[in-house]
Chains A and B, each alone.
Chain A
């Protein structure tokens, strides 16, 4: 994931709309405020882990072990055991018995070595204190500006070794910040830090959505005073107009193979669902009602498209073949509430998150196999849910203290976080995929 420092910027684009590539030579990271995380709920049982400072990391601009500790603490299923300020090297002889008396079940130690060409090698090792054995570790080599990424990779490695599941600390978020009259499409780390601006505009930006390979983001921008769908390549800042048909162009979503998108257009009168190639060719209508059909979402196996429709009177969520209604009637999937919109399918295809009107607009989780619905949140202006790449968390937009913020909740409902930006509104989140 190295940034390309020689990308050419389109000057004309810069003057008209501030399209900015995620590059270290371009716009500086947002300097006026950092995203703040507030933890309001943690897992029922938390795994105690100790992560010492790494040897020689005090000379680094970013302390990698701090990123690791923060990631694990924010995750909600770990409790961080205090290790003081001692730096413990990756190859140090550790006395696991003494760590056991500190009530840690696992210990992570590491070494940071400058390689001389602006690169650093971070080597860490994980110990299972209960079983009195080393679990192995990993080595990450990064440039000076990528030290946070090294911390995320190590935190992911710890989660993988301890739970067998893939961690999501290295994944990225996309979201929209509104500051007065200015809108910015941001790309950040999974904790909202290291945020960079991809697009700045005086008109709204909504519905960002990540390509399956994490290299592109499609979104809706109103910069020409109407909703138009763009596909934006993050490394270069280059973007294409995916769809600018007469009327609205919105609700883009990627097919699992990354070659096509589905979206909503009003070009034929009422809002309907279409598919289109990622280069903007081969537009095809796939829904066929005389009502509003919108918010298409592919199932992970590519066979179905879930969508919002008010063909039955009030908006509910339906599914149809990904070839469209010509291949078979759409079937309704939500029955619990009088209003249901914004479907999102978990990466394993097992759950659907959506928004229901249930005394306020509230995030729900539908188990697609059993039909069970659970209400996950205590907030009530919930919108735009998005699953983490490992399916364990849902990030969504809501309000806290009257202000638009992002919130995250684990699918079991236990872990709760608020992500807020002082002085600005945050909205329209999209959680990016695993990066390989």
Chain B
């Protein structure tokens, strides 16, 4: 039982806040945190209207636009065709030492949650290794994994699974 008015006020306020946040659940966990504003990776920026000087990775005409790298089943080696694409990212990061990136590894739906989290990490680390060998400093890169928890495609055909075996470079806001 609540015993005094200030507790009652707090209770009403917090209940209201909870109800508001329940109604706004779409914004609930994603809206307010300062480090949560990551630029979209795929083609949503209009090429004709924006100045991409501050975020060239969003410019479809830039070699930095390609930020997703795909892997074969049970494989954790960056494809040779991707090595040259990573050159461009390395060049940019070496010239912009304050710029940080996250590399997010993913797996397809086969396997089990925690082991797949570790497998996804092998993919993000593989991309990091290529960048490190090109001189990018460790302090500019954080590698993490979503395992199979955030698939781009939820279908289980070969093409969908191939889409999910992927590491993404995400340029962080300064």
Stretch at the interface among B26-34, B51-59, B62-70: B26-34
CB neighbours of B28 from chain A (8 A): 17-18, 200-202
* A366, chain B: closest CB distance, angstroms: 16
Pair B142/A295 contact, Cβ less than 8 Å: no
Interface string of A283-326 (1 = CB under 8 A from B): 00000000010110000000000001010000100000000000
Flag whether A361 is at the interface (Cβ < 8 A): yes
Chain B, Cβ-Cβ closest to A251 = B114
Flag whether B7 is at the interface (Cβ < 8 A): yes
CA–CA, A42 and B30, complex, Å: 45
Pair A206/B113 contact, Cβ less than 8 Å: yes
Interface string of A200-212 (1 = CB under 8 A from B): 1111101100000
Chain A, Cβ-Cβ closest to B119 = A292
CA–CA, A18 and B23, complex, Å: 11
Flag whether B72 is at the interface (Cβ < 8 A): no
Given contacts A5-B2, A14-B21, A227-B144, contact A264 B114 (CB under 8 A): yes
Pair B18/A247 contact, Cβ less than 8 Å: no
CB neighbours of A315 from chain B (8 A): 115
CB neighbours of B130 from chain A (8 A): none
Residues 16-54 of B contacting A (Cβ, < 8 Å): 17-18, 21-22, 25-26, 28-33, 35-36, 38
Residues 406-436 of A contacting B (Cβ, < 8 Å): 428
* B27, chain A: closest CB distance, angstroms: 8
A-B contact count (CB 8 A): 144
* A90, chain B: closest CB distance, angstroms: 30
Chain A, Cβ-Cβ closest to B115 = A341
CB neighbours of B21 from chain A (8 A): 14-15, 18
Which of A11, A182, A264 is the one whose CB lies under 8 Å from B17? A11
Which of B14, B26, B112, B142 is the one whose CB lies under 8 Å from A246? B142
Which of A25, A250, A355 is the one whose CB lies under 8 Å from B112? A355
Which of B14, B32, B119 is the one whose CB lies under 8 Å from A26? B14
Pair B143/A20 contact, Cβ less than 8 Å: no
Flag whether B125 is at the interface (Cβ < 8 A): yes
CB neighbours of A18 from chain B (8 A): 18, 21-22, 25, 28-29
Most A Cβ at <10 Å: residue of B31, B114, B146: B114
CA–CA, A383 and B33, complex, Å: 33
Most A Cβ at <10 Å: residue of B29, B36, B111: B29
CA–CA, A87 and B32, complex, Å: 56
Residues 246-284 of A contacting B (Cβ, < 8 Å): 246-248, 250-251, 264, 266, 269-271
Describe A's contact surface by its main secondary structure: loop
Flag whether B79 is at the interface (Cβ < 8 A): no
The size class of the interface chain B forms with chain A is 35 or more
* A151, chain B: closest CB distance, angstroms: 25
Chain A, Cβ-Cβ closest to B13 = A11
Flag whether A131 is at the interface (Cβ < 8 A): no
Which of A16, A27, A264, A294 is the one whose CB lies under 8 Å from B18? A27
CA–CA, A417 and B144, complex, Å: 36
CA–CA, A224 and B102, complex, Å: 12
Chain A, Cβ-Cβ closest to B144 = A226
Interface string of A345-386 (1 = CB under 8 A from B): 000000000010000010000000000000000000001100
CB neighbours of B111 from chain A (8 A): 341, 361
Flag whether A99 is at the interface (Cβ < 8 A): no
Pair A206/B22 contact, Cβ less than 8 Å: no
Interface string of B80-115 (1 = CB under 8 A from A): 000000000000000000000010100000011111
Chain B, Cβ-Cβ closest to A205 = B149
CB neighbours of B162 from chain A (8 A): none
Pair A6/B144 contact, Cβ less than 8 Å: no
CB neighbours of B118 from chain A (8 A): 248, 264, 266, 271, 292, 294
CB neighbours of A227 from chain B (8 A): 117, 144-146
Flag whether B121 is at the interface (Cβ < 8 A): yes
**Lowest 10 CB-CB distances: which A-B pairs, in order?**
A271-B118, A204-B149, A201-B29, A226-B144, A292-B118, A9-B14, A202-B29, A341-B115, A251-B114, A341-B112
11 A-B pairs, CB-CB below 8 angstroms? A5-B2, A8-B10, A16-B31, A18-B22, A26-B14, A203-B30, A226-B142, A246-B142, A266-B125, A271-B121, A295-B114
For the complex with contacts A225-B102, A266-B121, 15 further pairs of A-B residues with Cβ separation under 8 Å are A5-B1, A11-B13, A15-B17, A17-B29, A18-B21, A224-B35, A225-B38, A226-B102, A227-B117, A227-B146, A248-B117, A248-B121, A266-B144, A266-B145, A310-B115
